[in-house]
Amino acid sequence: MFSLSTKASVTCCGAVQLGKYVACDSFDETRPLRVVTHAHADHLMGLSQSLENCKKVLMTPATKDLVNVLRSQITPAKSVIETLDYGRTLQHNEERITFFKADHILGAAQVLVEGHEEERIVYTGDFRIDQTPVLESDTLVIEATYGCPDCKRSFNVDVKEQLVSKVKQGLEHGTVYVFGYHGKLQEVMQILNSTDIKAPFVASGKVFQISEA
């Protein structure tokens, strides 16, 4: 276990522990509450165990819709799942859990845990700076998948414009194939839909279902 402070730590299984009761993005048998910050596979680790053992599994409504597609309808008979809208607070004993938007994929959330001492513990989950609100905190856990300086982009351009330009160039020669994670593929579709590109999207069944959600 890697201790970040007396109020936050990360277990060897990747669970981000906040306060006394919350574990985020992996199963932790010592915590009654499991949070799923978003529907990417590396944040769904141990979900089946959490559904069987936790008092509550918390996620946003959109994340629940996506997880239902990815995990083939996990919700029947799984009453431990509780959806939490952005800005709504759940009380568990002396602690309060609130979700805030994270600019990553549909349904992605930051997690704020407040205890009886009013200390604010925040976990960002995956996020982009552009449209992610900065939350006041006493303890801050930052998801830093690309936090290494080696991951810094070597270019300073609008990647959305770059994407549209590349797709337009490709369509002049035929079909354009786009590969990406769930959530990011749908973001690409939204970006292209907002342009004058008229080419149809052809997708696999799973990608289609997630796009519907």
What share of residues in the chain are helix, strand, coil (percent, to 5)? 25, 20, 55
Domain boundaries, the chain: 2-149, 159-212
For 10-58, write each residue's pLDDT tens digit.
999 999 999 999 999 999 999 999 999 999 999 999 999 999 999 999 9
For residue 96, list its beta bridge partners: 91, 114
pLDDT above 60: residue 81:
yes
pTM of the model: 0.85
Q: What pLDDT, on the 0 to 100 scale, is given for residue 29? A: 95
Helix (H) or strand (E) segment spanning residue 170: helix 159-171
Greater pLDDT, 6 or 11: 11
pLDDT above 70: residue 122:
yes
For 156-204, write each residue's pLDDT tens digit.
678 889 999 999 999 999 999 999 888 889 999 999 999 999 899 999 8
CB 136 within 8 A of CB 142: no
Tokens 């629940």 -> residue: 64
Residue 188 to residue 160: CA distance in whole angstroms: 9
Q: What pLDDT, on the 0 to 100 scale, is given for residue 73? A: 54
- Indicate the CATH number for domain 2-149: 3.60.15.10
Residue 13 to residue 6: CA distance in whole angstroms: 19
Sheet holding 139-141, edge to edge: 89-92, 95-101, 109-114, 120-123, 139-141
Residue 76's pLDDT band, with cuts at 50, 70 and 90, is very low
Task: Output the six-digit token pair for 48.
Answer: 């089946």
